[in-house]
Amino acid sequence: MALLEGEHLTKRFGGVVAVDDVSFSIDRGEAVGLIGPNGAGKSTLFRLITGVHSPTEGTVTLDGEVITGRKPYQICHRGLVKTHQIVKPLEGLTLLENATVGAEFGGRDPEHPEERAYEALEFVGLDHIAHDEPDELSVGALKRLEIARVLATDPEVLLLDEVAGGLDTEETEEIVDLIREIRDRGTTVFLIDHVMRALMSVSERVFVLDKGELIAEGTPEEIQNDEHVIEAYLGESAARDHAGTAAGD
């Protein structure tokens, strides 16, 4: 049975259709990627799932229970959380206090929030500076702090919004390793990223959005060789070049 499902999700902003009749299903413990060009509707879909936006049509179901219409904090308490694309730590608080906010106010388990927050910092490799403030952290460390803050909520489903964006090669590999470990611990992962080597290396399946529509779904290998996906991402000339290369193989 699927853990997370979307059925006929549509979101209109006036005359603009940002998400157009999207249905998907993600199994418990699965890692699934979501890709598409800028403006494809990826972030809007995540906001529909997490309750930031209400769908114009359609429903989201978590573990057999419809969560459409619930507030984001209620969905978080239910075990579904999302990182922010632009990380903004709470000013004047230490790393531990930042993570404790997630554990205390968003977590499913109200017991021992500081302990769970410290364990999350330890997991992402920031426990040695737990009592420092995040002012001087690198982009990579800030991304890891954001992951720690959501892990402290003890999620069943973790939505990651471009956690590899803006990172150098070494930092990207560190984030990829973290995502693999999170997946291997049994947490269901749904991630958006434009860093293809990161997304493709951790995803078992990949969904592709273009102009609000779900245009493809498959394994990373299938998606990387899908001409419609290549055209949507890189344009018609890239699709022709790919077709020519395949013909010459």
13-21: long-range contacts (C-beta < 8 A, 24 or more apart)?
A: 17/212, 18/44, 18/212, 19/44, 19/45, 19/48, 19/55, 19/212, 20/211, 20/212, 20/213, 21/57, 21/58, 21/213
Whether residue 87 is found in the same domain as residue 74 = no
Whether residue 116 is found in the same domain as residue 1 = no
Whether residue 59 is found in the same domain as residue 168 = yes
With cut-offs at 50, 70 and 90, classify the pLDDT of residue 238.
very low
Using N-to-C axis directions, what is the helix angle for 236-248 and 227-234, rounded to 10°? 140
pLDDT tens-digit map of 84-126:
988 889 989 999 999 999 898 876 666 789 999 999 999 999 9
In DSSP terms, 87 is beta-bridged to none
Whether residue 162 is found in the same domain as residue 151 = no
Whether residue 144 is found in the same domain as residue 27 = no
With cut-offs at 50, 70 and 90, classify the pLDDT of residue 235.
low
Whether residue 72 is found in the same domain as residue 8 = yes
Whether residue 70 is found in the same domain as residue 165 = yes
How many whole angstroms separate alpha carbon 215 and alpha carbon 24? 12
Whether residue 185 is found in the same domain as residue 150 = no
Whether residue 33 is found in the same domain as residue 102 = no
Residue 219, domain CATH: 3.40.50.300
Query: Residues 148, 154, 155, 158: what is their CA dihedral angle, to the nearest 10 degrees?
Result: 10
How many whole angstroms separate alpha carbon 66 and alpha carbon 57? 13
Query: Residues 40, 44, 50, 54: what is their CA dihedral angle, to the nearest 10 degrees?
Result: -130
State the residue range of the domain holding 16. Answer: 1-79+157-249
pLDDT tens-digit map of 183-225:
999 999 999 998 888 999 999 999 999 999 999 999 999 998 8
* Residue that finishes a domain, picked among 155, 186, 207: 155
Whether residue 22 is found in the same domain as residue 133 = no
Whether residue 89 is found in the same domain as residue 60 = no
Q: What is the DSSP string of 213-224?
A: EEEEEE-HHHHH
Q: CA Rg, the chain, in Å?
A: 19
How many whole angstroms separate alpha carbon 141 and alpha carbon 235? 35
What 8-state DSSP symbol labels residue 30?
-
Q: What is the pLDDT of residue 105?
A: 81
Whether residue 108 is found in the same domain as residue 169 = no
Domain count, the chain: 2
For 151, phi then psi, to 5°, come to: -65, -30
Give the predicted TM-score (pTM) of the model: 0.89
* Residue that finishes a domain, picked among 155, 187, 215: 155
